[in-house]
Structure 1
């Protein structure tokens, strides 16, 4: 995957607080694909186990 960005939200309290409000999602990590919130850790694991996260990433790569 060519376009990947990881942000340590714990390193910047302002990002940490504002991202929770921006996403309306209170926990981290948060996975975004093409600017869209996919979900947190539990959702990512569930999607991975069902083979769904791979499809989302492949579609994003094709876009």
Structure 2
């Protein structure tokens, strides 16, 4: 488990915004992942995505890493934000946009 935690820590630490999701941004494999991608795309930020369906170690490891049972999972500047439900609530309240701006997250090119 230490190895997978190390891999996840590297991914989270190397990217300002990371979305652990089912599928890819171009082809989400569940409605919740699709919602998360749409929110991030609407915010216009650059983000890294990790398809948990391609790596079972990461799929299980991310749940333990964050102590959060569901996917997708969003990280901003190394901090766990939450899943698509929390992203949606934060986005609708303007909190997600504020968090991204205050953390100096780069805009998508």
TM-score normalised by L of structure 2: 0.53
RMSD of aligned Cα (Å): 1.2
Q: CA deviation at 1:60?
A: 1.3
1:19-59, Cα deviation, whole Å (9 max, x unpaired): 10010001011110001000101000000000100000001
**Higher RCO (CA-CA < 8 Å; seq separation 6+):** 2
1:42 is the counterpart of 2:51: no
Distance 1:29 1:54 in 2: 18
Give the equivalent residue in structure 2 for 1:10: 53
The structure with the greater share of residues assigned to strand is 2
Which stretches of structure 1, 4 residues or more, deviate above 4 A after TM superposition?
A: none
TM-score normalised by L of structure 1: 0.89
How many matched pairs? Answer: 61
Task: Return 5+ residue gaps in structure 1 as ranges.
Answer: none
| SS of equivalent to 2:48 | coil
Give the equivalent residue in structure 2 for 1:60: 103
Give the equivalent residue in structure 1 for 2:31: none
Task: Return 5+ residue gaps in structure 2 as ranges.
Answer: 1-44
